[in-house]
Chain A
């Protein structure tokens, strides 16, 4: 009898039978102990810290049916079948993956989709249910409406019911961790536990991805949380601190899409106004050592409004510069300063000058934010932002504006964002530690190798010897800090090697930001080394002429007959003032290559609208090296 009831209860529970099993088995597949760390980072590891699967409320709503297991197999280089039926495979595997499904309403749309229609009382939910069952177009409409309601804090009560949500989250999380554990193979492929904390106010994006250093033994003791405060990250920071204290584990958070925060991501003041305290600044810098600078929903490095002397500012801002995330509040010019990373690095110096602590001393990575379960960032193999724009003939021209009919189109999505990590091994511990010390860089998709060391005595001759060792022994790598040295100028080793499957390099630049004597933040971009085309390409008036363009849009091809496969130099800051706090980071530009809509046009034989971006110069951004004057 009792047995029967138990069975009935299990059948009645809204979850899958397998989810009812609470026991988490410690998987003993690979041991981290067995993987040796090298003396210093010898190779860069490539990954995506921001991938959504069918456990994300919006991803499922947009139609994706691939779960964490398919996502992990795909990232490891295996072929999977995408939701829309196409075979999908990366040109080469990734080295690590963070599945960062939204904690908020985890599994809620899936639960709604699976629910008996009879029992759905809320009229809006019934409508979304029907739309989702109609097919992909209906699903997208349902999600547009759901996200809009979310931005206005007007979700149906049944979707935000804390009781049901906590139970769903728990059961999904436990299954998820088991899968992550099974696919984590130290030394070969790292699968991290993580989730997305979707902090948002009125459609202003303050989202963070939370990434654990630990395995199921520690992470299994907590569950993802979603925001209850609507405008400050205090709650997620308290959660992270409590996790570290109670388990002895480690966790960090990566903010993303500052470009859609309407000026709130990198404020000069404390959230909501008032002076920022040193305590807030230190806490933020410690818990959020890395920021996602580029992804499918636009690039957040620099905006032409802020960096009018930088002709390469403004990559991937089209479409995204109009509004906040949910298109509920148009953007004003004065908001840009709180949205772009270069400006944030400058603001960090200003705040440090006033409070003694820099909240924005962070490194940078790229990632996809793909909602297809497929971590694709290659222009010629782009599976879209969500299942509604997996490869199809119309996707580049299509409106993508959450049903508002204005502003954003499919081609505004970038095929991009990967994270490059200089770690001492491919393990959770080693990759996480490299993120914590900011020894990371971002690319818009191509896998170029970028090294950046700062010191006081590097010479051009160093490049002839073992300069990597010299870089670590006599200087600091990207993400590091330089303290003053009397009478010396900072020198930098800068090196870039093209993606072996990709385009040649146009130039390497150093971007410097500093606080001048008047207490104002300044910036300047230096071309430090470029492909000189046999001595024919010379700088004039402080500018290096454009590299040229071999893109054939009609065939979606380009030639590596311009640019250089590798560029390296030792650079000294000619304008160094030892009294001024400053940062330096590297930007590497490729020669122009076709964009994903151009590849689509050839593949599907469609005509693109005239304003669609058909080519671009892809790029890498290093984490900065900071100089602080000695008091």
Chain B
């Protein structure tokens, strides 16, 4: 039996008829002409389906007829209490209900932005507003000689080694052992940062291309450096950073939608702040 046909059968169950009749009688006896919207509790096929589906998610089997009766009884009870509570005004001045409903209104306002798909032009505009944020990472090409911790002795060695290198010689005599490659080739800047620090990477940007210079300080100590190649800063391309821009767009769009929805609602009110 499919869920749908089970629910359809359900609607023919005597208990359901009894409950519905009861609700109707209650409405009639209460003296007011029943507002069909307010005073009818309809357990439609869709509602019953939903109750059964939710139950099955938890219990991983179809409910028995008794269990379905129980689900429906509970649903009707929810509805009755909920509506009566509203009629009695129990929702008023309850801070939790106020906050809960505010949350739902915010979620409602946000849901459109959550589900919306931005156009390429919208995303491109975000990139243009802050290209640095979306730029592809620069790739670095350089050769380095590590001279050890930053001490007066290593500073002196740096001067001598630099002289040797600039004169076309080698600096192997000055090189200290370290698990740092002598040559970095097409290495993303963040990979260099992870080992030698951001300050070192920033300093590389100021060095001339093709000649030895330094010493440059890193987190590990002093280095002589030769920049082997430097490309112009890469321009961000939407195709490469679409997800990141879309995340930012969505986050901003949600905030904006919520703010605007509030302003629109606020316009319908006269707010009087009485000052003491």
- In Å, the complex CA distance between A69 and B251 comes to 10
- In Å, the complex CA distance between A27 and B117 comes to 12
Contacts of B104 in A (CB 8 A): 11, 16-17
- B-side binding surface: helix, strand, loop or mixed? helix
Contacts of A183 in B (CB 8 A): 247
- In Å, the complex CA distance between A21 and B112 comes to 12
Among A53-61, A258-266, A495-503, the stretch in contact with B? A495-503
Contact, CB under 8 Å: A17 / B243: no
- In Å, the complex CA distance between A9 and B53 comes to 14
Nearest A residue to B91, CB-CB: A116
Contact, CB under 8 Å: A46 / B107: no
Interface string of A1-43 (1 = CB under 8 A from B): 1101110010110001110010000010110000000000001
- In Å, the complex CA distance between A9 and B43 comes to 11
Contact, CB under 8 Å: A16 / B242: no
Contact, CB under 8 Å: B200 / A500: yes
Contact, CB under 8 Å: A500 / B220: yes
Nearest B residue to A3, CB-CB: B46
Contact, CB under 8 Å: B193 / A92: yes
- A-side binding surface: helix, strand, loop or mixed? mixed
Contact, CB under 8 Å: A46 / B194: yes
Number of interface residues of A (CB under 8 A): 55
Contact, CB under 8 Å: B198 / A2: no
- In Å, the complex CA distance between A92 and B189 comes to 13
Among A161-169, A367-375, A596-604, the stretch in contact with B? A161-169
Contacts of A451 in B (CB 8 A): 179
Q: How far is the CB of A138 from chain B (nearest CB, A)?
A: 15
Interface string of B229-243 (1 = CB under 8 A from A): 000000000000011
Q: Assess whether A185 is interfacial by the CB under 8 Å rule.
A: yes
Contact, CB under 8 Å: B110 / A18: yes
Contact, CB under 8 Å: A497 / B110: no
Nearest A residue to B42, CB-CB: A5
Q: How far is the CB of A561 from chain B (nearest CB, A)?
A: 9
Contact, CB under 8 Å: B94 / A568: no
Contact, CB under 8 Å: B149 / A564: yes
Nearest A residue to B101, CB-CB: A11
Nearest A residue to B90, CB-CB: A118
Q: Assess whether B3 is interfacial by the CB under 8 Å rule.
A: no
Contacts of A17 in B (CB 8 A): 104, 107-108, 111
- In Å, the complex CA distance between A30 and B218 comes to 33
Q: Assess whether A154 is interfacial by the CB under 8 Å rule.
A: no
Contact, CB under 8 Å: A568 / B103: no
Partner of A43, one of B59, B108, B148, B194: B194
- In Å, the complex CA distance between A424 and B191 comes to 13
Contacts of A447 in B (CB 8 A): 194
Q: Assess whether A449 is interfacial by the CB under 8 Å rule.
A: yes
- In Å, the complex CA distance between A207 and B85 comes to 43
Q: Assess whether A565 is interfacial by the CB under 8 Å rule.
A: yes
Contact, CB under 8 Å: B178 / A565: yes
Q: How far is the CB of A127 from chain B (nearest CB, A)?
A: 15
Contact, CB under 8 Å: A500 / B55: no
Contacts of B78 in A (CB 8 A): 12
Given contacts A185-B243, A565-B148, contact A499 B114 (CB under 8 A): no
Contact, CB under 8 Å: A116 / B220: no
Contact, CB under 8 Å: B108 / A1: no
Contact, CB under 8 Å: A114 / B96: yes
In the complex, given contacts A1-B42, A30-B243, A163-B55, what are 18 additional A-B residue pairs having Cβ atoms less than 8 angstroms apart?
Answer: A4-B37, A17-B107, A27-B243, A114-B96, A182-B247, A449-B179, A449-B195, A451-B179, A498-B220, A499-B219, A500-B193, A500-B218, A501-B197, A501-B219, A564-B149, A566-B178, A566-B180, A568-B179
Q: Which B residues lie at the A interface, using CB under 8 A?
A: 37, 42, 44, 46-47, 50, 54-55, 57-59, 78, 82, 90, 94, 96-97, 99-100, 103-104, 107-108, 110-111, 114-115, 137, 148-149, 176-180, 190-191, 193-198, 200, 218-221, 242-244, 246-247, 251
13 pairs across A/B with beta carbons < 8 Å?
A2-B44, A5-B46, A16-B104, A18-B107, A116-B97, A163-B54, A464-B177, A468-B179, A497-B195, A565-B148, A566-B176, A566-B180, A568-B179
Q: Which A residues lie at the B interface, using CB under 8 A?
A: 1-2, 4-6, 9, 11-12, 16-18, 21, 27, 29-30, 43-44, 46, 69, 92-93, 114-118, 162-163, 166-167, 170, 182-183, 185, 188, 447, 449, 451, 463-464, 468, 495-502, 504, 560, 564-566, 568
* Nearest 9 interchain pairs by C-beta: A500-B219, A29-B243, A500-B197, A166-B58, A163-B58, A566-B178, A565-B220, A495-B179, A17-B107
